[in-house]
Amino acid sequence: MNEGIKTIIYPVKDIGQAKGRFTELLGVQPIMDEAYYVGYRVGGQDVGLDPNGHSLGMTGPVAYWHVDDLGGRLQALLGAGAETLQEVKDVGGGKLTALVKDADGNVIGLIQAP
């Protein structure tokens, strides 16, 4: 099952400056504030800032599709010509993520809740 896009993550070079900009833009304080990730929740949407995103191949904001079978969706994308940018990774509490780049160069994120 695909629940749609509920998360967007921005690769940032300076997490402190980006946090200031996004706090002003979104009008809320982060729900997660770490050196490796700053996350917000606004109107049911998760917005994240990733200072390591550029090194993962993120060239701009990445939309994450919430799925219940990340492995299956990942294999479907790879079978359709996508290439892996980030293998399946547990980002905490059993939440799994992966990144691929499709044949058109678009970065696609997948996320599966525990």
Segments making up each domain of the chain, as ranges: 2-112
- Rounded to whole angstroms, how far apart are CA atoms 55 and 104? 19
Flag whether the pTM goes above 0.85: yes
52 in Cβ contact with 13 (< 8 Å): no
Which DSSP string do the residues of 2-28 spell out, in sequence order? EEEEEEEEEE-S-HHHHHHHHHHHH-S
Identify the pLDDT of residue 4.
Answer: 87
Q: What one-letter code names the amino acid at 57?
A: G
pLDDT in tens, 18-65: 999 999 999 999 999 999 999 999 999 999 999 999 998 888 999 999
Identify the pLDDT of residue 56.
Answer: 86
pLDDT in tens, 69-102: 999 999 999 999 999 999 999 998 999 999 999 9
Q: Superfamily assignment of 2-112 in CATH?
A: 2,3-Dihydroxybiphenyl 1,2-Dioxygenase, domain 1 (3.10.180.10)
